[in-house]
Chains A and B, each alone.
Chain A
Amino acid sequence: EVQLVESGGGVVRPGGSLRLSCTASGFTFDDYGMSWVRQAPGKGLEWVSGINFNGETTAYTDSLKGRFTISRDNAKNSLYLQINSLRPEDTALYHCARINSDYDYSLDVWGQGTTVTVSS
């Protein structure tokens, strides 16, 4: 079964840091680009970042550049998102998703997400 499982979320004080992880199974991880997408409580989807199959190319939404870093370890079938200088507005459910080039680079597999709460 193709699956993505996120972890690493939690409650953090403003200014703190977190490293989110996403573990893939059921497919050849290093054949695919990957993305992070977040959803604040009661709000819509917001694309955060993406990375290509070998980690050499990354992209970020303009408003988050500088505080967010995406990376991957293909040997561990894992995707990561480092978030620094956390702000209350970063409170959200963070999903990882697979980018499928056969489906015109759409996000065809999603994890259930890990929750990040930024609060003092």
Chain B
Amino acid sequence: SYELTQPPSVSRSPGQTARITCSGDVLAEQYVNWYQQKPGQAPVLVIYNDSERPSGIPERFSGSKSGTIFTLTIGGVQAEDEADYYCQSADGSGTYVFGTGTKLTVV
């Protein structure tokens, strides 16, 4: 098994840009998906295949990759974006792994 590392917390003011990173040794050959989880709610897919947005996800959410570091960017954060964010990848055998999670606070 392998690990995906995220910063425990990120804090931004409304309108600022928030960047959340996800790193792991095996990520050079894998894709990453990102999920948003608000308190008491099920996770929601916000980015798949490194940088694609599912329908219904606002354009301010974007994803990028540089080597083995993946970044979720929220441009112009809003109060409603305050949540926990998790990256997720998978190996070739169908085993999935989640990142350690990042709490985004909008202050």
Question: Please, what's the 1-or-0 string for A22-52, where 1 marks a CB less than 8 Å from any CB in chain B?
Answer: 0000000000000101000000111100101
**B residues lining the A interface (CB < 8 Å):** 1, 31, 33, 35, 37, 41-45, 48-49, 52, 54, 84, 86, 88, 90, 93-101
Of the listed stretches A72-80, A82-90, A99-107, chain B binds: A99-107
DSSP class of B's interface residues: helix, strand, loop or mixed?
A: strand
Could you tell me the distance between the alpha carbons of A62 and B53 in the complex, rounded to whole angstroms?
Answer: 30
Could you tell me the distance between the alpha carbons of A111 and B100 in the complex, rounded to whole angstroms?
Answer: 21
**A residues lining the B interface (CB < 8 Å):** 35, 37, 44-47, 50, 52, 57, 59-63, 95, 97, 103-108, 110-113
Q: Which residues of chain A have C-beta atoms less than 8 A from B90's C-beta?
A: 105
Does B43 lie within 8 Å of A104, measured CB to CB? no
CB < 8 Å neighbour of A110 from B44, B54, B101: B44
Residue of chain B at shortest CB distance from A104? B49
Could you tell me the distance between the alpha carbons of A35 and B98 in the complex, rounded to whole angstroms?
Answer: 13
A8 to chain B, nearest CB (A): 17
